[in-house]
A and B are shown apart, each in its own frame.
Chain A
Amino acid sequence: MKTEMLDAVERKGLKEDTPYFEIGDIVDVRCRIREGSKERIQVFTGTVIARKGRGINETFTVRRVIGNEGVERIFPLHSPNVVDVKAIRSGKTRRAKLYFLRKRTGKAVRLPQRHSKHTVSK
């Protein structure tokens, strides 16, 4: 009863069709950014290394290495500011959390490619 009522409130904030992507995918996250009164869309590209939470609290972590420095961004999946997530390439993985990538450098951060239907080539 309690969760029913909480779900009813949460459900209105959920996206109806969440973008499909998997752990290990290289994704383009299109993010709405407000600078003063202007709005623009910023694209962040990287590997999805984790997906956490459920319902409105669901988030995913995208990691990329920019100039020898690892950068991770955590996006709320249902945020209206996360406009779109496009999976570009699938990676072959055997686990749900790819935190081991944090210790890797250079070419080793790339995952072996896997061909899957949900990715869209650029």
Chain B
Amino acid sequence: MAMLLGKKVGMTQVYDESGKLLPVTVIQAGPCAVMQVKTGETDGYNAVQFGFDDVKPSRRNNPETGHAKKANTTPKKFVKEMRLPDNAKPECKIGDLITVSVFAESKSVDVIGTSKGKGFAGVMKRHGFGGFPASHGTERKHRAPGSISSFASDAGHGGNLKKGKKMAGHMGSCRVTTKSHSLVAIDEEKNLLVVKGSVPGSAGGYVIVRSSQKV
């Protein structure tokens, strides 16, 4: 399994061999510094910690700068771990630089990002409710959720609603994983990954790219 941290650059289009126009997202991924290698003996589990996007040492506190110094790099804005199975041995050492070439053999990737914030959203937008008719006597209820419960359906809930009832509320700016993007191209010179389809978050947002877990 391979993982890399990166930044969403934006979307564009690319022709494939058969002349089909594919919608693609460009991700600037890596080079990521290995900040720490965690092993079962020292930390209780196996993992590799990556850092991406340099930041001035004066902008970070001493513990963070010191942590980066052990890996012989500057502090990073975006630091994430790649968890490894218990019996696996990490292949990289502390201080290594990981580039997009780790995906050379992968056909597809999963991308994890923070979705665009939608604010306080109603049930139609948030949960895909149908709403009410625009006319035929509907008054002030066009996008309303409808009944949220009844005496009968509430039975056994102690006078409260059922847990997990879909209602209006905050939507977006949360971690979203999109799976099995086929990998269209890799630019090792510019550290770019070109993946098919759209990826969570706005352009410039941080994303985690990992080789697809589904084959």
Q: Which residues of A contact B (CB under 8 A)?
A: 2, 5-6, 8-10, 12-13, 32, 34, 56-57, 76, 78-81
Contacts and interface: CB of A to CB of B under 8 A. Distances in A.
B111 interface: no
Given A34-B18, A56-B13, A80-B15, 9 more contacts: A2-B10, A5-B192, A8-B192, A9-B24, A9-B185, A12-B185, A13-B13, A32-B19, A76-B21
19 contacts: A2-B9, A2-B203, A5-B10, A6-B12, A6-B26, A8-B190, A9-B14, A9-B187, A10-B13, A10-B14, A13-B13, A13-B15, A32-B19, A34-B18, A56-B14, A79-B15, A79-B21, A80-B19, A81-B19
B19 A56 contact: no
B194 interface: yes
Would you call the interface of chain B mostly helix, strand, loop, or mixed? strand
B19 A6 contact: no
Interface of B: 9-10, 12-15, 18-19, 21, 24, 26, 28, 185, 187, 190, 192, 194, 203-204
Contact of A9 (B18, B21, B192, B203): B192
A64 to B, nearest CB: 23
Contacts of A34: 18
B187 A8 contact: yes
A5 B19 contact: no
Contacts of A80: 15, 19
A79 B17 CA distance: 10
A2 B14 contact: no
Contacts of B15: 13, 56, 78-80
A13 B26 CA distance: 14
Interface centre among A2, A5, A9, A76 (most CB of B within 10 A): A9
Contacts of A9: 12, 14, 24, 26, 185, 187, 192, 194
B12 to A, nearest CB: 5
By Cβ-Cβ distance, the 10 closest A-B pairs, closest first, are A81-B19, A80-B19, A13-B15, A5-B9, A6-B12, A9-B26, A13-B14, A6-B10, A10-B12, A56-B13
Contacts of A8: 187, 190, 192
B192 to A, nearest CB: 6
A5 B21 contact: no
Contacts of B14: 9-10, 12-13, 56
Nearest to A57: B13
A78 B185 CA distance: 18
Contacts of A57: 13
Contacts of B13: 10, 13, 56-57
A5 B8 CA distance: 11
Contacts of B192: 5, 8-9
